[in-house]
Amino acid sequence: MAEDPIVVWSQCLDIIKEMIPRQTYETWFTKTRGGSISQDVFTIQVPNQFFADWLEEHYIERIRQVLLRQLGREVMITFGIKEESKPPAQPPTRPTGYVAPPRPSGQKKPVGLENLYDDYTFDNFVVGDGNQLAHAASLAVVDSPGKSTFNPLVIYGGVGLGKTHLAQAIAQQSIRQGTVERIRYVSSEQFTQEFIHSIQEKKTKEFDQTYRNVDMLIVDDIQFFCRGNRDRTQEVFFYTFDALRQNGKQIVLTSDRIPQELSGLEERLISRFNWGLLADIRPPDYETRVAILQKKAEKDGLSINTEVISFIADQITSNIRELEGAVLSLLAHASLYRCDITTEVAREVLRKSFKRQQKEIGIEELQEAVAKHYGLSVELLSAKTRRAEVAQARQIAMYMCRQVTREALKKIGSRFGGRDHTTVIHACQAVEEMIDRDPSFQGVLDQILKSA
Ligand code: ADP
Ligand code: MG
C-alpha cells in the first residue's frame, strides 16, 4: 500500500508529543504536516524557514528516530515551506527576514513575527556573570537605538550561550516599546541568499531598498560572511552598514568569535565594528546555570527538585543549549517510563545523552575522591589491611567504580591491589545493603561523586 505522508507524519506526531514538553510541542510541531514521501526522502511541511531551521537544529535526531520507527527504514529528512502561510501582501522575492509594521495593531501579530522565537525575550533571559555586559548593552540599544556608542552592537561568544536569544530579545522589546518602527532580523545566511537571489532576479535595487529602509538591522552569525567566496556579499553588507549608520539607524550583529579573529572578513568591516561596542558572552557560572535551569523548568511547568537541578548544573558546564537539552531528555525519559525525575534517573539519562561532555571519571578519580572523603590515603584502599574503616571505604570505592565507570568486575578488582572479582561483587552487595538500610547514604555517595 502506498504510504501517505500525512498519515505517517501524524503518527509520528503522536509519538513526538509524548516525548517533549507540551508547550514545545505546540510551538513547533502542531503547525507541521507530512509533505511528501519517497523511498529515501521524507518532506515535512513547515510554516516558514525559521521553523525549518529550528526543527533541524533541535529535533532532527528525534524526528529521524521516530520516522525510522514508523517507516522501518532510514530516510533523508527535508523541510518544505508551506506556500499559503506566507503573508499574502509580501512579494515572493522577500521570503525571509522580519519587517515590523509601525505598531502591533490590536491582537494581530506584526507581519513576519513568526521569524522570531516568542520565548527569546528579556524576561526569559537570565543575567549572570558571563553575559552581563551583552545584556546591559542590548537593553541600552532598545532604549536609545542608533546612539553611536552602541552602534553597531556586536555580541560575540561561543555556541549556545545566548547570542541569538539576545538579538531576538532586542527586536521583540524594541517593537513592544515602540522605540523603532521597522526592524529587519536576518541571519547572515539569509542576507547572503537574498542578495544572491536579487542578483539572479535583477532586483538588487529592491534588495538595497529593503535593507536600507529600516530603523534597526540585526544580522545573526556574521561569521558566515567569511564562508567561501563571499566578497560581493561582504561588499553589499559594508555599504548597507554605512548607509544605515550614517542615518543614525541601529545595527546589531552577532558572531561566534571576536570579529578580529574572523579570518576572511574585510578589514574595513572589522574596523567599523570597533566604532561601536563589542560585547562578549562567556559560559555561565554555576549559579547562573542553576538559575537558567530553574527558569526553564518553571516556564515548562515541570517539577524538578533542587538536587537534580544542581546535579545537572554540575555536570553540564559549557553551554546553555545543552542545559536545556538535558532538561528535555529528562522529560522525555520521565514521560516515556512514567517515573519521577530523581538524581539517579538524571544521572542515567545524562550519562547516555551527554557522554562526551561529561567529565571523564575513571577508577583512579573515584578512588581518590573516596579516600579523600574518608581521610585515608589512596594507597590504603589497595593495601592488604582489613581495618574496618579502610575495608568499608574500599567497598564504597569498588561499588562506585562499578556504578559510575561500568568497568568489568575483574578490572576493578585488579585495581584494588589485585583483588578477585568476587570481592567486588561482595562489596557491591554490602553497599547496596547499606543504602537499603539508610537511603540517605546515597546522598553521601553523590557528594563523593561530585567531588571526583
Ligand atoms: P547562540 O546563538 O549563542 O548559539 P542561543 O541564543 O541560541 O545561543 O541560546 C541557546 C539556548 O539557550 C536558547 O534556547 C536560549 O533561549 C537559551 N539561553 C541562552 N542564554 C540564556 C540565558 N541567559 N537565560 C536563559 N536562556 C538562555
Ligand atoms: Mg545563534
Rounded to whole angstroms, the maximal C-alpha distance in the chain is 86
Question: Would you say the CB of residue 41 lies under 6 angstroms from ligand 1?
Answer: no
177 plus 265 within the same structural domain: yes
Q: Do both 221 and 334 map to the same domain?
A: no
369 and 247 assigned to the same domain: no
Q: What string of pLDDT tens digits covers the 452 residues of the chain?
A: 678 999 999 999 998 888 777 767 877 788 899 999 998 899 999 877 767 877 888 888 889 989 998 998 989 999 988 654 333 333 333 233 333 333 333 333 454 344 688 889 999 999 998 999 999 999 999 999 998 789 999 999 988 999 999 999 999 999 999 889 899 999 898 899 999 999 999 999 999 999 999 999 999 999 999 877 788 999 999 999 999 999 999 999 999 989 988 878 999 999 999 899 999 999 999 999 999 999 988 877 777 888 999 999 998 887 898 888 888 778 777 777 777 888 888 888 887 766 544 557 889 999 999 999 988 999 999 999 888 889 999 999 999 999 888 788 999 999 999 999 999 999 999 998 888 888 778 878 888 888 88
CATH of the domain at 18: 3.30.300.180
User: What pLDDT is attached to residue 1?
Assistant: 60
Ligand 1 touching residue 323 (CB < 6 A): no
Is 277 found in the same domain as 137? yes
Report which protein residue has its CA nearest ligand 1's atom 11: 321
Residue at 180 is within a domain:
yes
Number of domains composing the chain = 4
Does residue 123 lie in a domain region? no
CA 28 to centroid of chain Cα atoms = 15
Q: Name the closest-CA residue to atom 4, ligand 1.
A: 160
Whether residue 195 is contained in a domain is answered as yes
Whether ligand 1 lies within 6 angstroms of the CB of 126 is answered as yes
Ligand 1 nearest-atom number relative to CA 120:
16
**Is the same domain home to 348 and 381?**
no
Q: What is the pLDDT of residues 390-424, one digit of tens each?
A: 999 999 999 999 988 878 899 999 999 999 999 99
Domain final residue pick, 357, 376, 391: 357
- Residue 137 burial (C-beta neighbours within 10 Å; 0-12, 13-18, 19+): buried
- Which cell numbers in the block locate residue 445? 555517595
Contact 294, 300 (CB under 8 A): no
Do 374 and 347 lie in a common domain?
no
> Rounded to an integer, what distance in angstroms lies between the CA atom of residue 302 and that of residue 332?
12
8 Å CB contact between 38 and 4: no
**Of 229, 160, 164, 151, residue with least CA distance to 192:** 229
Give residue 21's pLDDT: 72
**End-of-domain residue from the set 313, 328, 357:** 357
CA of 162 to the centre of ligand 1 (A): 3
Does 122 fall in a domain? no
Ligand 1 pocket member 95 (CB < 6 A): no
Q: What is the pLDDT of residue 343?
A: 87
The rounded Å distance from CA 148 to ligand 1 centre is 27
Closest ligand 1 atom to 295 CA? 25
CATH of the domain at 222: 3.40.50.300
Same domain for 329 and 389, yes or no, is: no
331 and 425, same domain (yes or no): no
The per-residue pLDDT for 363 is: 94
Residue 242 located in a structural domain:
yes
Same domain, 185 and 294: no
The answer to whether residue 113 sits within a structural domain is no
User: How far is the C-alpha of 73 from the C-alpha of 64, rounded, in Å?
Assistant: 10
pLDDT at 48: 74
Asked if residue 68 has its Cβ within 6 Å of ligand 1, the reply is: no
Residue 124 lies in a domain: no
Residues 257, 205: one domain? Answer: yes
* Domain identity same for 335 and 206: no
* Residue numbers of the domain that contains 209: 132-281
Question: Does the beta carbon of 24 lie inside 6 Å of ligand 1?
Answer: no
**C-beta 321 within 6 A of ligand 1:** yes
Distance CA 309, CA 294 (A): 7
Of the residues 85, 107, 123, the one at which a domain ends:
85
What CATH code is carried by the domain that includes residue 308? Answer: 1.10.8.60
Is the CB of residue 324 below 6 angstroms from any atom belonging to ligand 1?
A: yes
Return d(Cα 221, Cα 229) in angstroms, integer: 17
**97 falls within a domain:** no
Q: In this structure, are 152 and 179 located in the same domain?
A: yes
